[in-house]
Amino acid sequence: MSGPRLLDQGIVYRNQRPHVCSRHAYFPSLAVVGGGEVLCSVVLGEAFEAVDLHAYLARSRDGGVTWALDGELLPRPPGALWSDACRLTALSGERVVALLMRYDRSAHPEEGLTNPTTLGFVPTEMVLLDSGDRGRTWQPPHRIQPPLEGPAFELCAPVTPLRDGTWLLPTSTWRGWDGRCPHGMKMVALRSRDGGRSWPEYADVMADPAQRHIYWESKIVELADGRLLATAWVYDQQEARDLPNHFALSADGGRTWTRPRSTGLHGQTLTPLALPDGRVLCVYRRLDEPGLWAVTATLAGDSWTSGAATALWGHGAGGLTAHSANMSANFAVLRFGAPCLALLPDGAILGAFWCYEDCVSGVRWFRLRVD
């Protein structure tokens, strides 16, 4: 079986004057909002973990081919020392929800997001922003009160609305800057039954009681048969190496999950998209071959079968990732990642990711079709 077909590709945002100013783009998120319009949030700033990194919105009026910046999503008070990033969810009508993660940089303004000694994270805060007009105007931010202490949390996925009206928020607990992590580092799903106003419940999705395995960049999608699929990048702390991406399934709306199992895909930052025919499209940063790749998978019961893979970007390139024992250092030298996917009205799939080209990090888009 042939892999997904790459139809075309282009640029969402790239600094056109790098000789004048340092402005890089990272961590996109897509939302198809109707009327031929697509939103893409991007994070703009001086460097990969700079204090001035903040979320902006780009808008396409032709289905994702050409783009223009709308502006900053949530302007900061003067002197505020936080960076932020967001993930978008398109709801019914013209409604869009933005999950924004704020990173408090006041205690460590000269450091990155993680502590190189403990792998601890700067303090985080999650807020929701709501728009009823395709992201042109936004209601004031509403702070999310998690039902457990992180103390920090990872921004890895948008809010996931289920068919029964429940909202899930996939995330992972993360150590504080000092290394403290009372519940361990694990993938969880916060649950809201009132449209995001409160999040009183959560479920463990992927967790290792021995704390040997960390589950990063987790995602949850609702399959055509009503089950939920969770995926994650798995890191073995004891051996300081990445394992194949893992998956878990839920048949009760995310309350309980099967044990994590390997997909057989050797990668990081895997993003799944549930297709109408029951298959799953996955785009991921591949490790056994360089670059960004796409593959379709079939789930028969709890068995995962992958089809042929298609190279999207960076195949044959070197130096795109690092594999030292210090993950904080590895994060700092990544050259691409964070793919996101959205189904277009014509059945094609629109994707976006960030990548470093010609000394500038920008956000690219691509369009696929799955036969």
For residue 346, what is the domain's CATH number?
2.120.10.10
* C-alpha distance across the termini of the chain, in Å: 9
**Could you tell me which of 128, 129, 172 has the C-alpha nearest to residue 151?**
172
Q: Residue 243 and residue 231: Cα distance in Å, rounded?
A: 13
Count of domains observed in the chain: 1
Q: Residue 85 and residue 121: Cα distance in Å, rounded?
A: 15
| Residues lower than pLDDT 70 in the chain | 1, 317-334
pLDDT of residue 315: 84
pLDDT of residue 234: 97
pLDDT of residue 35: 87
SS3 for 278-322, per residue?
CCEEEEEEECCCCCEEEEEEEEECCEEEEEEEEEEECCCCCCCCC
Burial of 201 (0-12, 13-18, 19+ CB in 10 A): middle
Q: Give exposure, 86-99, as e/b (b: 16+ Cβ within 10 Å).
A: bbbbbbeebebbbb
Q: Residue 281 and residue 106: Cα distance in Å, rounded?
A: 40
Phi-psi sector, 347: left (phi>0), alpha (psi -120 to 50), beta: left
Boundaries of domain holding 94 = 5-369
pLDDT of residue 76: 81
pTM as predicted: 0.94
pLDDT in tens, 262-299: 999 999 999 999 999 999 999 999 999 989 999 999 99
pLDDT of residue 358: 85
CB 162 within 8 A of CB 222: yes
